[in-house]
Amino acid sequence: AGAGVMIAVDIGASSGRVIIGRLPDATSGAEPGQLAMEVVHRFPNGVSEVDGSLHWDAEGIFAEVTAGLKAAAAVVRETGERVLSIGIDTWAVDYGLLDADGRLVGPPHAYRDSRTDATIDRVHAAISPERLYAVGGMQFLPFNTVYQLAAEQDLAGQRALLIPDLLAYWLTGVERTEETNASTTALFDAREVAWSAEVFDAVGVPQLFAELIAPGQAYGTLRTEVAAATGLAADVQVVAVGSHDTASAVAAVPAADAHFAYVSSGTWSLVGLELEEPVLSEASRAANFTNERGVDGTIRYLQNVGGLWLLQESMRDWAEQGRERELTDLLAAAAELDAGPVVDANAAEFIAPGQMAGRIRAAVERAGDTLPAAPGEADALGAASGVDPDQAATVRCIMDSLAAGYAASLAAAAELSGQRPQVVHIVGGGSQNTLLCQLTADATGLPVLAGPVEATAQGNLLVQARAAGLISGGLAELRRAVAADLVRYQPRA
């Protein structure tokens, strides 16, 4: 048989991709080389509004996954390679509900929906925020799964699968819950590494999730219908990876030593440290740090900073006004400006979609400041690129705000954990943002190493490669196999 390859299905809030990963076989005696990736399918993703609430089109996403697997099957048919396994990661927290026959009960809600506004107080009356934190160690985010489940009307007879597990179920027919993602629900016991009966009972929700599995364990092989539809062999395994995209991204941070911080930079910026034990102290709760479970039982001690969502949504806003601009032009225009006012990128007011540029401007004004130019003001700067002055100022404000947010989060993480990072690794789509990378170095006073862009897919593939016996060892060994051309940014005085 030909060489074995792995397939990563990596779906973020803004886009998805299906990637073939190849790693030279270490059992042949050679040093394991670096992972090579071939993107076979990309597709856009985003929330859609159905009947006034925000949803994910899970079935549409699954159709894209199937199309990607079909493209991967076509590639290996040409090369004579053999697909060993498929791994899936997506954003955290959200889930699909299945009825007694295993059918999806409507499109899954998206975490940016406002339905939890009505349930947070009710959950906190049933179990205090202090107790929730002592058990699960999750930062308070209004969309944590526990608040979402509390918003469901009637759960009797239903089961829930987190989004990557739902896709794995459709591929294999097997229901499991992968544990890095389970840890983000706030229904999980961070120390016991098990569902928390205490939290489910307190909230009055049945324990409706499937049995836990860890990264590296298999859900099962492909359903015959899936094998037929994709052209993949029916014995291809779907293997659990860090199915929380951030778990896979952190697993592939190309860190050379232990004292590193990371920013997983996409729609969100996940900013923090890798620890061996959770920090469940009251100070940590008050600072709103999370203890998400990582690959190999590590703890991702981090905060969600508003992220490039603020930029994505501002750009959508401008496009709706007929002022669509290229991302690279916007960033170049922002880089021409001096630092200006900042907003709190973590503020709950930026979670929902819509009119983002206006909301940022309003937040600056509420703080008694102004952004240098108003919409429609004469175009002095943007003559060449077509970027309007208010757009440049808004993008500059987002970048300054994110960099300030990263620096504040990292300082707090260091303080609360006692671990002092020497370098900041930025991975994900945002690692290409040279302005943000430089501002992060400046704001943190630490060197920044940017890349790889596709860290999440690499973390996904390397966990599969280890499950297949192509590489062995812990995270340090996996990280040495990460393919990355790192760009270094030094802090400026």
Which one of ligand ADP, ligand LRH, none is in contact with 93 (Cβ closer than 5 to 8 A by kind)?
ligand LRH
Q: In this complex, which beta carbon is closest to ligand LRH, that of residue 119 or of residue 267?
A: 267
Which one of residues 11, 76, 93, 457 is an interface residue with ligand LRH (CB under 6 A)?
93
Q: Identify the active-site residue in 10, 89, 113, 245.
A: 245
Residue 380 three-state SS: coil
Rounded least distance, CB 267 to ligand LRH, Å: 6
Label residue 163 exposed, middle or buried (CB < 10 Å: 0-12, 13-18, 19+).
Answer: buried
Q: In this complex, which beta carbon is closest to ligand LRH, that of residue 23 or of residue 190?
A: 190
- Under a CB-based contact definition with an 8 Å cutoff, are residues 405 and 272 in contact? no
| Candidate ranges 8-16, 185-193, 338-346, 363-371; the one touching ligand ADP (CB under 6 A) | 8-16
Tokens of 20: 């073939």
Which one of ligand ADP, ligand LRH, none is in contact with 254 (Cβ closer than 5 to 8 A by kind)?
none
| Candidate ranges 71-79, 80-88, 218-226, 242-250; the one touching ligand LRH (CB under 6 A) | 242-250
Residue 44 three-state SS: strand
Residue 426 three-state SS: strand
| Candidate ranges 187-195, 240-248, 337-345, 377-385; the one touching ligand LRH (CB under 6 A) | 240-248
Which one of residues 21, 429, 452, 459 is an interface residue with ligand ADP (CB under 6 A)?
429
The whole-angstrom separation of Cα 406 and Cα 397 is 14
The yes or no reply on residue 432 touching ligand ADP (CB under 6 A) is yes
Return phi, psi of residue 227, to 5°.
-60, -45
- Under a CB-based contact definition with an 8 Å cutoff, are residues 348 and 290 in contact? no
The whole-angstrom separation of Cα 263 and Cα 343 is 19
Tokens of 445: 């006073």
Which one of residues 4, 7, 12, 457 is an interface residue with ligand ADP (CB under 6 A)?
12
The yes or no reply on residue 289 touching ligand LRH (CB under 6 A) is no
Note if 245 is an active site residue. Answer: yes
Q: Mask of contacts with ligand LRH, 474-493, x by CB under 6 A?
A: --------------------
Which one of ligand LRH, ligand ADP, none is in contact with 270 (Cβ closer than 5 to 8 A by kind)?
ligand LRH
Q: Mask of contacts with ligand LRH, 261-280, x by CB under 6 A?
A: -----xxx-x----------
The yes or no reply on residue 409 touching ligand LRH (CB under 6 A) is no
Q: Mask of contacts with ligand LRH, 49-88, x by CB under 6 A?
A: ----------------------------------------
Q: In this complex, which beta carbon is closest to ligand LRH, that of residue 13 or of residue 356?
A: 13
The whole-angstrom separation of Cα 382 and Cα 366 is 27
Residue 54 three-state SS: strand
Helix or strand (DSSP H, E) at 83 = strand 82-90
Rounded least distance, CB 345 to ligand LRH, Å: 14
The whole-angstrom separation of Cα 290 and Cα 312 is 25
- Under a CB-based contact definition with an 8 Å cutoff, are residues 409 and 307 in contact? no
Which one of ligand ADP, ligand LRH, none is in contact with 92 (Cβ closer than 5 to 8 A by kind)?
ligand LRH
The yes or no reply on residue 166 touching ligand LRH (CB under 6 A) is no
Identify whether 142 is preceded by a cis peptide bond (ω within 30 of 0). Answer: no
| CA angle (315, 320, 325) in 5-degree steps | 40
| Candidate ranges 33-41, 145-153, 317-325, 425-433; the one touching ligand ADP (CB under 6 A) | 425-433
253: left (phi over 0), alpha (psi -120 to 50) or beta: beta
Which one of residues 304, 312, 394, 417 is an interface residue with ligand LRH (CB under 6 A)?
304
Q: How many CB atoms lie within 10 A of CB 78?
A: 7
The whole-angstrom separation of Cα 260 and Cα 252 is 13
Q: In this complex, which beta carbon is closest to ligand ADP, that of residue 4 or of residue 405?
A: 405
Q: Is the torsion defined by CA of 115, 117, 119, 123 positive or negative?
A: positive
The yes or no reply on residue 245 touching ligand LRH (CB under 6 A) is yes
The whole-angstrom separation of Cα 87 and Cα 94 is 18
| Candidate ranges 150-158, 201-209, 307-315, 388-396; the one touching ligand ADP (CB under 6 A) | 307-315
Rounded least distance, CB 211 to ligand ADP, Å: 28
Return phi, psi of residue 298, to 5°.
-75, 165
Q: In this complex, which beta carbon is closest to ligand ADP, that of residue 261 or of residue 435?
A: 435
Rounded least distance, CB 377 to ligand ADP, Å: 25
- 43 forms beta bridges with 16
- 209 forms beta bridges with 160
Terminal CA-CA length for the chain: 57
Which residues are marked as active site? 245
Binding site for ligand ADP (CB under 6 A): 12-15, 266-267, 308, 311-312, 327, 428-430, 432-433
Binding site for ligand LRH (CB under 6 A): 12-13, 91-93, 111, 244-246, 266-268, 270, 304
